[in-house]
Amino acid sequence: MINGSQMFSKLLRWRIRNVSERQFLYIISFVVGILSGLAAVLLKNTLYYTHYLLSDGFNYAARNYLYFASPLVGIILTVLFVRYFVRDSISHGVSRILFSISKSNSLIKPHNTYTSIIASTLTIAFGGSVGAEAPVVLTGSAIGSNIARIFRLDYKMVTILVGCGAAGAIAGIFKAPIAGLVFALEVLMIDLSIATILPLLISAVTASVVAYFLLGEGVLFSFRIEEHFMLNNIPWYIILGIICGFISLYFTRVSMAIEVKVKKIQLWWMRAITGGIVLGGLIFVFPSLFGEGYEVLQAMVNGRGEEVIEQSVFGFATDNEWLLIGVLGLMMAFKVVAMAVTNSAGGVGGVFAPTLFMGGVAGFFTSRLLNSTFSIGLSDAKFALVGMAGLMAGVMHAPLTAIFLIAEITGGYQLLTPLMITSTISFLTIHYFEPYSIYTKMLAQRGELITHHKDKAVLLRMKVSDLLETNFSTVTMDMTLGQFVQVVSKSERNIFPVVDSDNTYLGVVFLNDIRHMLFDHSLYNEITVRQLMFMPDVSVSPDDSMEDVAAVFQQTSHYNLPVIKEGKYVGFVSRANVFSRYRRLLKDSSDE
């Protein structure tokens, strides 16, 4: 009988003979689109029904003490699930995708196809102040990566399918295929070419159709803008862009500082309890910080922004416009704290929803502030929508994604001009102070970030251990020239590392430098290797990055560098071998 493995091998051989690589990529991108769209629908429904079951029969507004308990329970359950079931870090989903592209040949662990959905549900349904988008993006990318691995595709194809999963997830959860496509190109830095555009587009459109079919109009939130943009409002949208840029800077700096501080608490249970209590306190004061916050955004763009404040302990502020503006400012400031505390305490969620939340509040805040100061009659709803794009552009360094996402969820392009103005100004403002997005900052600091620079991307995929050459004959310092000649006669190389009895690297002998002595028999017993060797000047470690190795080659005239680990000789890495591997990987990642 033919077992499953043999049948699959036959299928692979049939596919290679009958289906071209590009055609197969289109087919797989369609499958990834379906699965990532289903993942988005599943997560949305899981969140909704879990929260419904938890809140059924409880009036959170009347019983505010529940705000203390619920987030704490959610964080503890998430931590227990991750610690004892997953046993792997699954937080910061988009950063994990970037890391996999940079350092893991775009391979994402199989458990990421479902664990992020479960963990984020536990966190958000109980009130964690984070978003579900990053977990579902990680899920979609993991689906693409693992399907590619099953069919034994190369790095270029795996990376494209990782992007397809991410594009499908965004398209499915927001019903915004163009935004999903642009997200993969702009945030994940997938190369822009015909070979990548079509698979990404297929996945994004497919996932969006799946979401339409299963959810209809109910994809997170949707709005309709009927009024046209007025040119005389351009200066106010420029001001909004500047404000969004500085709020984005505050968002990035504060969230990272809080995560570093909370993670200094060594005991995981103490970290979870502390974070849960702080989060509960913040939600008690501002109930709008509970969960993702899309209900708050819906209220603001539908002209019910005051309701957001009325639910808090500052309900009296709605009677005074300036108090209302002040409370909106406090809400923005504490949303970042709530998000960072949720993630650092052990919750699982992303910055997508918090960014949109803060952007909506920032736009509403700016509109009220300008109207109160200058009495110009700006639209709170329009400014809230454009503010979302402004914060996305600043926090994620993704102005195009922000523009197309808000344009698509509003059902038209009436706001396109103000979206472009505010997003561009916001991005330029934060980029002056912070060159990296919230997704890439930590990776960049560790030198683990892939960029659009193909040379750096290729170097990040190369490892010293993969390029190690060990066919060099070692010698000792006490060897005579005669003994050394015997070693030379059996060696394939013209470089001889000098080591002691413990394999400690002491230096090197270059055959070309002593070739004139090899045939002078009178020197065989008079000269030792100690007199022939050069002391070590430079070396590299198996743990060094290829960027560091390339820098050493550039700074020296050596064609071979010794690889030393803790003082022990391991082998050599050659300039020719590095260049050959570099060219091959560059070709593999560039060919269409």
pLDDT tens column, 199-245: 999 999 999 999 988 887 654 555 666 666 677 889 999 999 999 99
The rounded distance, in Å, linking the Cα atoms of 237 and 427 is 14
* pLDDT in the model for residue 364: 92
Are 397 and 437 in contact, with CB atoms under 8 Å apart?
yes
Instruction: Using 50 as the pLDDT threshold, list the residues of the chain that sit under it.
Output: 1, 60, 219, 451-452, 591-592
User: What does the pLDDT look like over 111-140, one tens digit per residue?
Assistant: 999 999 999 999 999 989 999 999 999 999
* pLDDT in the model for residue 221: 56
User: What does the pLDDT look like over 453-480, one tens digit per residue?
Assistant: 555 666 666 788 888 888 899 999 989 9
The rounded distance, in Å, linking the Cα atoms of 581 and 410 is 48
* pLDDT in the model for residue 59: 55
% helix, strand, coil for the chain, step of 5: 65, 5, 25
Q: How many residues in total does the chain contain?
A: 592
The rounded distance, in Å, linking the Cα atoms of 32 and 167 is 10
All domains in the chain, ordered by first residue: 18-215 (1.10.3080.10), 231-456 (1.10.3080.10), 460-590 (3.10.580.10)
Write down the pTM of the prediction.
0.80
* pLDDT in the model for residue 1: 46
The rounded distance, in Å, linking the Cα atoms of 71 and 91 is 17
Strands 568-574 and 560-565: antiparallel
Beta strands in 432-591 (DSSP E): 495-499, 505-510, 560-565, 568-574
* pLDDT in the model for residue 451: 47
User: What does the pLDDT look like over 502-539, one tens digit per residue?
Assistant: 899 998 998 888 888 888 888 888 888 888 888 877 88
Q: Give me the sign of the Cα torsion angle 141, 212, 356, 191.
A: positive
